[in-house]
Structure 1
Amino acid sequence: MYSGLLLVLLPLMLGYCVPCRSTTILRLLNLAVARMVYLILFLMGISLAFVDNLVSHLGTIFSVSLVFLACISAANLVGLWCLDRRHNRLTGEPGAPLQSKWRLLLDSVWLCLVILGGVAIGQVLDPSWFAVDTLSEWALMLLLLLIGVQLRNSGMPLRQILLNPWGLSIAAVVLVSSWVGGIAGAVILDMPLQHGLAFSAGYGWYSLSGILISDQLGPVLGSAAFINDLARELFAIMLIPTLMRRFPSVAIGYGAATAMDFTLPVLQRSGGVAVVPVAIVSGFILSLAAPVFMLGFLSLG
């Protein structure tokens, strides 16, 4: 457990200690993070190709991902809807009309194609000399280091995070309701409860959940975790414009950790600048919580 936590938290904390005021460097950093995500998913595809009788495992991959997606999504939506019933706080004018939703969806399709490319390349590689697991670990550590720098320089001071009760409430509801959905999915699939909780702790961070669960439970379940979290992101893109005005907590919270990066432009266009601090706070907290809880639950198995 401790070595796994160190693998994830050390580079994240080291990155968080690095201040950066150069907008040029930050733009390059954002580009590097995007490229690292593609590399990690490509390596995950290669790892999946090394599984014996891969075709026979496809049913398992899709059934596990769909069950967890349904259970976790249902729990999140109910919990966030209850939060909106108590505190519907969105005020002001909506943002600009959403124009790039299909482009964002296309970006997600590209992520799937990158994994398929890794599977194709993996067919001609020899697992005995291509150390895909070691490469994946190093790539993940570099990604977390860069993400740590991003979090430090996101423009959101720690005091502002701690003083944003709406963002904190959304993060807390997503955290707990995801665990409820993960337990329900594990019961339906007759899996150990700690594995279901690990699936629920990805919070939309597909590159992290895919690699960590692949490392602990194998590439088949790792691929299911990736599909679960990627599909969550896709649904968030489609739901945000529809839900924002009446159910802002649902719109912000369903994207989970992606609320501070990938789905943030969609949130801003649909809800205006008022939702940006709330989205960044909730996404920030869930991004920090994901590796801790995921490795913690996996260590129980």
Structure 2
Amino acid sequence: MYSGLLIILLPLVIGYLLPLKSPALQRLVNHLLSWMVYVILFFMGISLAFLDNLAANLLAILRIASVSVIAILACNLIALRLLEKRRPWHHHHQQQQTLPSRLHMALESLKLLGVVVLGFLLGLSGWAFLHHAAQASEYALLLLLFLVGLQLRGSGMTLRQIVLNRRGMMVAVVVCISAFAGGILAALLLGLPVTTGLALASGYGWYSLSGILMTENFGPVIGSAAFFNDLLRELLAIMLIPLLIRQHRSSALGLCGATSMDFTLPVLQRAGGVEIVPAAIVHGFVLSLAAPVLIALFSA
């Protein structure tokens, strides 16, 4: 039953093992990765349109996403608050006045939602060739995971750098473990298998990947719920970082999940200063590496 796990992890591992030293190639990988995310989410929207009992399933998606994001974030924030009490994060940075436009960043996140909606609307046409969207997305997913592996290797993070940055590692471990508790709680509240709840909790805000992987393994209802669950996490992080960063620094970082090494990094840096950047990169790297592995494991 772990053949599916191997198929998912193999391109990720192969990509990570390949050295990527050329800056030009790294830029190419980043561009391809951005485009692949749009392509696969477009396919996910098409698959969603072919669901039976569409109206009922859309309500189920919203219900699962709402319950899961509340349960997971509540457990994350409780655990991070306990971490802050036991291991305070001492710093001297004063928040800058000029922050990136949170509205602009939120709209950037919502672009991917627009791609899903576009695919959904196209799928409603019922054209015969669109039935191949699910198969096409499987091949696209393998390429995406390969590119993710290349990107993680190209980030330049070494095991020594990860281990030495204790704050980034501690926050990542707390987020990872407390998310499991939230996933189990969400599964119990929703009447889902515990493994499904754990898989939902393992996206850590990486909506472009979790939605794709969950759709492949659990179908478009759970996959779409995972997408909205992690999209809401990122949107909340963008809005709450400036409010949390002074007194609850670990919570502000942990709320970002896997996106702390890329999308929400500018907000963290502007609000929390340059000193937060190493911890943010380590935190995001660890969760980015863990997300596809854990989702695949709980889906096996």
Task: Tell me the TM-score normalized by structure 1.
Answer: 0.94
Structure 2 Cα separation of the partners of residues 171 and 102 of structure 1: 27
Shift of residue 18 of structure 1? 2.6
- Structure 2: state its 5+ residue gaps: none
Equivalent residue runs for 1:39-188 within 5 Å = 39-94=39-94, 96=96, 97-126=98-127, 130-188=131-189
Counting aligned pairs with the same residue, the percent is 51
Structure 1 Cα separation of the partners of residues 283 and 148 of structure 2: 16
1:297 aligns with 2:295: no
CA spacing shift, 1:92–1:24, aligned 2, 3 Å: farther
Structure 2 Cα separation of the partners of residues 147 and 176 of structure 1: 23
CA spacing shift, 1:20–1:215, aligned 2, 3 Å: closer
Equivalent residue runs for 1:237-276 within 5 Å = 237-276=238-277
Q: Which stretch of the first structure deviates more once superposed, 222-231 or 97-106?
A: 97-106
Corresponding residue for residue 23 of structure 1: 23
Shift of residue 202 of structure 1? 1.2
Structure 2 Cα separation of the partners of residues 263 and 61 of structure 1: 26
Corresponding residue for residue 36 of structure 1: 36
Corresponding residue for residue 9 of structure 1: 9
Contact map agreement 1:90 1:275 (CA 8 A) in 2: no
User: Residue 75 of structure 1 aligns to which amino acid in structure 2?
Assistant: C
Contact map agreement 1:198 1:298 (CA 8 A) in 2: yes
RMSD: 1.7
SS for the counterpart of 2:131 is coil
Contact map agreement 1:95 1:273 (CA 8 A) in 2: no
User: Residue 47 of structure 2 aligns to which amino acid in structure 1?
Assistant: S
Shift of residue 233 of structure 1? 0.6
Shift of residue 95 of structure 1? 5.9
User: Residue 28 of structure 1 aligns to which amino acid in structure 2?
Assistant: L
Shift of residue 212 of structure 1? 2.0
Contact map agreement 2:46 2:130 (CA 8 A) in 1: no
1:238-297 Cα distance to aligned partner (Å, 9 max, x none): 111111111111111111111111111111111111111111111111111112221222
1:234 aligns with 2:206: no
User: Residue 28 of structure 2 aligns to which amino acid in structure 1?
Assistant: L
1:53-76 Cα distance to aligned partner (Å, 9 max, x none): 312211111011000010001000
Structure 1 Cα separation of the partners of residues 71 and 228 of structure 2: 14
Off by >6 Å, runs of 4+ in structure 1: none
- Structure 1: state its 5+ residue gaps: none
Structure 1 Cα separation of the partners of residues 69 and 128 of structure 2: 31
Contact map agreement 1:75 1:181 (CA 8 A) in 2: yes
Contact map agreement 1:90 1:245 (CA 8 A) in 2: no
CA spacing shift, 1:59–1:130, aligned 2, 3 Å: closer
Contact map agreement 1:195 1:298 (CA 8 A) in 2: yes
SS for the counterpart of 1:130 is helix
